[in-house]
Structure 1
């Protein structure tokens, strides 16, 4: 009798447990699909993909999905690396290193070390950068599976060594490391994998040759474009390729083709959200417009260059603090002499940061005040003429505007962003109604909905709030 009761209890429990188990598997599968979709989005628009990452990381922890967690943390590192946000990169790379070590995953632990090395190299601590790259390679050597993932991670180590040599202003050594990486590609037997791998390497190599051999740079940029698989969307490598080809034509004073290629690079950068090395394009365009005496364009790119350099300087300053803090923890018994040197470096960097900040601020204020009214006037003229190029011109004038709005509320529609652009130009309700062919009441309703979506308090003037974006 007791045995029969036990069996009944067992089958009764099984009856309820199986649907729960099935549901749990469904939740995990659905989550994996969202992580994969985020990866696809990351290749098309890293800013939009990044907005999802923190929430996905929280869910991965709740589901105890360690692989997805590490994958998302590494994606976060790639985002900060692509955006040149070195201060955020060191924090996220340390997190990746720590979590992957806990999960005993050699691939992601190595990637964490690679990203940490990049932050040290940017801050001119080259010995430290090399230490972490060697550490990454040793970690990868522990894996005897000979998997493709480990192969690509080792290739990343070689790329990072090349970056260190570039930061040290040793482009020939950097090229040697990349040629070593290109040679390692012979291990890939699948033609498509081989093409994808070498497409990236040739683009990187062309970018290095740009520093001392323009003909070789042009050759490898063209080779990269030629070998690029059709199903790979245009990415950072294509930005580099267009930049190299633009420089090639600039050197030959073919400014029309040069500008065309530089604009292609900017177009991809804007679409996918990658800022790495894009300031080189801005500098080259400024130089061409100076040579061709196009003063308005010179001022436009001059402002973009200064804005970029100021942001980069601030990021480097913050990352230097993080690097020094990390190094103090690792070497708490190190001599006071090293700390003094770091302290001096920090003081010098702060001094430089303040110098450039006030210098840029003073110049920028003068130039912006001089040109702002003209920019507004040009944009309003486009609007009055119902010109479809209005938003393109607006985003050129205010390149960070849309991104900042989407960070505040990722669910904003394009029409709402365009409406915010009109408020940025300080157009009155009547003017907006006139230029967009809608009723004034409709404009007021749009303002009301925007206040709710962006959580703008009623006590705050919406024009002043938008102007601060």
Structure 2
């Protein structure tokens, strides 16, 4: 593989980076798996622009996955490289990423100082440059995030309105619509904290304006989450669950996890209200897994933040230390006890149930199906975590309903059983099997149940 990579020309590298950019819009995990190899190539070829572009993409990946410890390390690397190569745009972007890590770790003043540095850098750039325009909009967006972290949503909304106003200068309609689609989704997310009617309005507006050639992404996750929250507040739990599950489906398909925990909490609350204990427990477990992972990342990123600040301030007295060390200690203590509690629970479960009981799992899944519970697919994928991914690798245009249908085949439900559970005619089930066979290119002489079972 290394030998093959060394034969890459500068042109071939640029083509692969462009293809990776397209892939990133649909599957950030798959795109990320290619980045380190491409980075090595950019260094071998001494292609500084490609190197910075790939480092920037890694930063976006870590931000989307809520991996703040990896984000700050990679953003510092980008900062050093961009300063060395005298690239204003990427140096500004590195400051924006660093600001995000400070803000998430509850150091808003430090975050703001990095955003101000980013804006000053961008002021030196060509005001007519497209990438300078987008970098400035990223600064505004990060300011909005900081205000949200400070629990000042109205101030955050003002920054997004500034972005919306700036978007009027974009001449191309498709480009302008895409820009405003992102802004309206951000605005909906902000309004969801204090004005539910406005939140719903902007989420719908974002969905309406989204260009058809743009893949579902974090903004669409935000839109469905906001609509789910609106329905939840109005006690329309069925519609709420549907929208939350749409958001989770995009999150799973795309790989973005940054707001997943909010959705888990909402679903857990709904199922507790509806007294559906299995589903409530399922999302309770999801919350615990997510929070433990996030807490580890936050603890590590806080250590990196402290080390960075120490280098900057080692020759001067800095009151920052009087409260940052207790903060680190508090997170460390919380992490220790959370891990200890989770580990204890795991041991208990292992003692009583040493192996996954597939028969019991099948029974639980059937119960969810019979109740027509939307949590079925998430419970199913908890047992078969790569099922959707493998199907989509076979045929990327599979719809969610088709993936769910394949899950029923994986459970070896007969045509009659699927018809009964899905409230459709047996002929419709047979037609669906035919379409699935065609989409997945399953040979006629191969049993569809056997083929699906190998996934």
Question: TM tier, shorter chain?
Answer: 0.7 to 0.9
The whole-number CA distance in structure 2 between the counterparts of 1:122 and 1:90 is 11
Cα displacement (A) at 1:351:
1.3
2:95 maps to which residue?
Answer: 113
- Of 249-258 and 226-235, deviating more is 249-258
Cα displacement (A) at 1:381:
6.0
Cα displacement (A) at 1:355:
2.4
Superposition map of 1:6-21 within 5 A: none
Cα–Cα, structure 1 residues 50 and 293, in superposed 2: closer, same or farther, change >3 Å? same
Is residue 347 of structure 1 aligned with residue 329 of structure 2? yes
Cα–Cα, structure 1 residues 115 and 395, in superposed 2: closer, same or farther, change >3 Å? farther
Cα–Cα, structure 1 residues 26 and 45, in superposed 2: closer, same or farther, change >3 Å? closer
- Of 336-345 and 159-168, deviating more is 336-345
Cα displacement (A) at 1:362:
3.6
- Secondary structure of the 1:140 match is helix
Gaps spanning 5+ residues in structure 1: where?
A: 1-23, 407-411, 415-435, 447-469
- Secondary structure of the 1:44 match is coil
Cα displacement (A) at 1:256:
1.3
Cα–Cα, structure 1 residues 95 and 293, in superposed 2: closer, same or farther, change >3 Å? same
Cα displacement (A) at 1:396:
2.8
Cα displacement (A) at 1:320:
0.4
Superposition map of 1:444-459 within 5 A: none
Cα displacement (A) at 1:162:
0.4
- Of 167-176 and 215-224, deviating more is 167-176
Q: Paired residue for 1:330, among 305, 312, 322?
A: 312
The whole-number CA distance in structure 1 between the counterparts of 2:104 and 2:301 is 9
| Bigger radius of gyration | 1
Cα–Cα, structure 1 residues 255 and 394, in superposed 2: closer, same or farther, change >3 Å? closer
Cα displacement (A) at 1:67:
1.0
Gaps spanning 5+ residues in structure 2: where?
A: 1-5, 396-448
Q: Paired residue for 2:227, among 242, 245, 266?
A: 245
Q: Paired residue for 2:273, among 291, 294, 302?
A: 291
Cα–Cα, structure 1 residues 167 and 370, in superposed 2: closer, same or farther, change >3 Å? farther
- Secondary structure of the 2:9 match is helix
Cα displacement (A) at 1:360:
3.6
1:397 maps to which residue?
Answer: 382
Q: Paired residue for 1:236, among 215, 218, 222?
A: 218
Is residue 172 of structure 1 aligned with residue 172 of structure 2? no
Cα displacement (A) at 1:114:
0.2
Cα–Cα, structure 1 residues 122 and 393, in superposed 2: closer, same or farther, change >3 Å? closer
Aligned residues: 386
Cα–Cα, structure 1 residues 139 and 214, in superposed 2: closer, same or farther, change >3 Å? same
Cα–Cα, structure 1 residues 255 and 101, in superposed 2: closer, same or farther, change >3 Å? same
Is residue 226 of structure 1 aligned with residue 208 of structure 2? yes
Contact 1:303 1:364 in 2 (8 A): no
Cα displacement (A) at 1:148:
1.0
The whole-number CA distance in structure 2 between the counterparts of 1:383 and 1:252 is 29
The whole-number CA distance in structure 2 between the counterparts of 1:378 and 1:37 is 44
The whole-number CA distance in structure 2 between the counterparts of 1:437 and 1:192 is 45
Cα displacement (A) at 1:138:
0.3
2:117 maps to which residue?
Answer: 135
Cα–Cα, structure 1 residues 245 and 369, in superposed 2: closer, same or farther, change >3 Å? farther
Contact 1:203 1:238 in 2 (8 A): yes
The whole-number CA distance in structure 2 between the counterparts of 1:193 and 1:277 is 26
Contact 1:117 1:130 in 2 (8 A): yes
Cα displacement (A) at 1:28:
1.6
Cα displacement (A) at 1:361:
3.5
Structure 1 residues 142-178: Cα deviation after superposition (integer angstroms, max 9, x where no partner): 0135211100100000000000111111111111111
Contact 1:375 1:397 in 2 (8 A): no
TM-score by length of 1: 0.76
The whole-number CA distance in structure 2 between the counterparts of 1:341 and 1:66 is 39
Cα displacement (A) at 1:364:
5.7
The whole-number CA distance in structure 1 between the counterparts of 2:281 and 2:351 is 12
- Secondary structure of the 2:159 match is helix
1:19 maps to which residue?
Answer: none
Is residue 101 of structure 1 aligned with residue 101 of structure 2? no
- Secondary structure of the 2:86 match is coil
Cα–Cα, structure 1 residues 369 and 78, in superposed 2: closer, same or farther, change >3 Å? farther
